[in-house]
Amino acid sequence: MTTFRKISLTVLIAGLVAGVAGFGAYSGFSATTSNTGNSFASGTVAIGDNDGGSVALYTQANNEPGDSVVSCIRVTYSGSLASSVKLHVSSGITNGAEFNLKVERGTQSTGAFPACGDFAATSTAYDAALGSFPTTYAAGPDGKAAGAAWATNDIVAYRFTITQNDDATANAHTTAKSSGSHDFTWEARNN
């Protein structure tokens, strides 16, 4: 390395030191701008009803053809996320063809569970043999007509009508035929 290059490097290093020193000379002043309070949280999916703890809509024995039970339940959505609600039943129903179940959607402002008060039907969710009621969310009838989404505080009333079907077959009812115990579930899943 020639003397000239040595000198040049020395100058450059000195310059850098000076630069750092110069930068430090302004360290007493500062200014910031900030954006605080950021957070990220999951939405909620919550659904409830007015049956006071999973109480049955019907428990009736010794029915004759045409006998029926009519009960109503109001389901309220309280989640923050838009959801799809579907209705399904537990498996294990027996003699399912012996009974017809009709589930209507509607509005209701009076009547304590399971009374129907002023229930007014707006659409029919299901009207067929009890034994054919879907047992899965995927296959279940929609909570709202045409699968409309549920928003916070949406309420839908449901009227359940279960009816003993006729059976004129001689000696077909010499022993009692029961549906067995079964549970209905309204399941909400966010969209």
Partner 1 sequence: MRLSMPRRSLLTLVAIGLVTVLAGAQTWSAFHATSASDDNSFAAGTVVLTDNDGGTALLSLPGAIPGDSDNACVKVSYAGSLPSELRLHGTTTGDGLDPYLNLVLTRGTFPGAPPASNSCVGFSADATDYLGSGAGVIYSGTLQAFPDDYGAGHIDPRPASPETWTSGESHVYKLQITLQNDLDARSKTATQTFTWEARNT
Chain residues binding partner 1 by CB under 8 A are 42-49, 51, 54-65, 69, 73, 75, 79, 81, 83, 95, 98-99, 130, 137, 162, 164, 170, 173-190
CB of 148 to partner 1, least distance (A): 17
Chain-centroid distance of CA 87 in Å reads 10
Q: Which is nearer to partner 1, 35 or 59 (CB)?
A: 59
Nearest distance in Å: CB 37, partner 1: 25
Q: How far is the CB of 137 from partner 1 (least distance, A)?
A: 8
**What is the token pair recorded at 184?**
């209905």
Token reading at 63: 């029915």
Toward partner 1, which CB reaches closer, 13 or 112? Answer: 112
Return the number of the residue (6 or 187) whose C-beta is nearest partner 1: 187
- The residue length of the chain stands at 191
Query: Do residues 125 and 156 lie in contact, with contact meaning Cβ atoms separated by under 8 Å?
Result: no
> Nearest to residue 57, comparing CAs of 153, 165, 133?
133
**Rounded Cα–Cα distance for residues 133 and 150 (Å):** 22
Q: Among candidates 58, 84, 53, 63, which has minimal Cα distance to 146? A: 84
Shortest Cβ distance from residue 141 to partner 1 (Å)?
15
Task: Identify the CA nearest to 74 among candidates 36, 47, 40.
Answer: 47
Nearer to partner 1, 3 or 91 (CB): 91
CB of 173 closer than 8 Å to CB of 167: yes
Of 79 and 106, nearer to partner 1 (C-beta) is 79
In the complex, minimum distance from the CB of residue 146 to partner 1, in angstroms, rounded to a whole number: 20
Listed in sequence order, the residues at least 6 apart from 166 whose beta carbon sits closer than 8 Å to its beta carbon are 65, 66
Minimum distance of partner 1 from residue 31's CB (angstroms): 41
Nearest residue to 79 via CA among 3, 188, 177, 170? 188
Give 30 or 59: the residue with its C-beta nearer to partner 1.
Answer: 59
